[in-house]
Amino acid sequence: MTGPRVPSENRDYPAGTGTTTKMAERTEVRLAGEGGQGMILAGIILAEAATIYGGQNAVQSQSYGPEARGGASKSEVIISSGEIDHPEVLQPDVVVALSQEAFRKFASTVKPTGLLIVDADKVDSSSAPKAIRLPITKMAFETTGRIITANTVALGVLVGLTGVVSRQALEKAIIARAPRGTEEMNHKALEAGFAAAEKVKKA
C-alpha cells in the first residue's frame, strides 16, 4: 500500500536542463540499470555520502529479484536535510537509466520538473526529449579501461548536476567503498562524471 504523497519542497529545476539551483529539503533518486552494472552499490554510496560524510538523513532501498539475471535492477535513495517521515520513493526527482529496460520501466516515473540521465549508447531515449544523454559506459571505459566504473561516472554526473550531496562527501564515500588498489581508478571515473556534468551545465 502506498502512503500519502510527500511533497518535495524548494524545487527549482530550470526547464530543459533538469539541473538544480536550489537545494531541496527532500530529494528522491532512482538509479536503474542491468544486473551487474553496479547501480545497487551506487545507491548505497550515495546514501553513505549523504549520511556519513554529509550530515544529512538518507534512506536507501534496492530491488534484485529476477534482475540479477540481466533485467532492470534499481536502487532508490531519499536524501533530506530534515526527518524522512515516509521512506518510500513516490515520484523521483532524478532517474538514472543505464540500460534500455531500465529506461522503459522507470523513465516515466521522474517528475515533470525532474532530471532524467541516460546512457546515450545503451538507451534509445527519443521518447524523452528532455533527457540528459551521455555515453556513460563509454566514458568509464575510456577513463579507466573498465566498464564497471560506469556507476561511479554516473554518480559524478548526478551530483555534478544536482548538488544533492557535496563533491567532497561523494569522493569520501566512493574511496571508502573502493576495493584496495582501485582508489585511483574510481577517482578518475568520478572526475570524468563531474567533468561531463560541467559540460552539460555550460551547454
Looking at residue 72, its pLDDT comes to 78
Tell me if 151 sits within 8 A of 38, measured CB to CB.
yes
Looking at residue 70, its pLDDT comes to 59
What is the 8-class DSSP label of residue 113? T
C-alpha cell at 53: 560524510
Domain map of the chain by residue range?
Answer: 26-135+158-176
Task: Give the span between the Cα atoms of 116 and 3, in whole angstroms.
Answer: 25
Could you identify the residue written with the cell 548538488? 163
Looking at residue 51, its pLDDT comes to 98
Tell me if 32 sits within 8 A of 102, measured CB to CB.
yes
pLDDT in tens, the chain (203 residues): 223 223 333 333 333 334 433 445 899 999 999 988 999 999 999 999 999 999 999 999 998 655 455 577 899 999 999 999 888 998 999 999 999 999 999 999 999 999 999 999 999 999 999 999 999 999 999 999 999 999 999 999 999 999 999 999 999 999 999 999 999 999 999 999 999 999 999 98
Looking at residue 17, its pLDDT comes to 39
Identity of the residue numbered 4: P
- The continuous run of DSSP H or E covering 94 comes out as strand 94-97
Identity of the residue numbered 89: V
Burial 121-154 (b: 16+ CB within 10 A, else e): ebbebeebeebbbbbbbbbbbebbeebbbbbbbb
Looking at residue 25, its pLDDT comes to 85
Looking at residue 198, its pLDDT comes to 98
Alpha-carbon Rg for the chain, nearest whole angstrom, is 15
| CATH code for residues 26-135+158-176 | 3.40.920.10
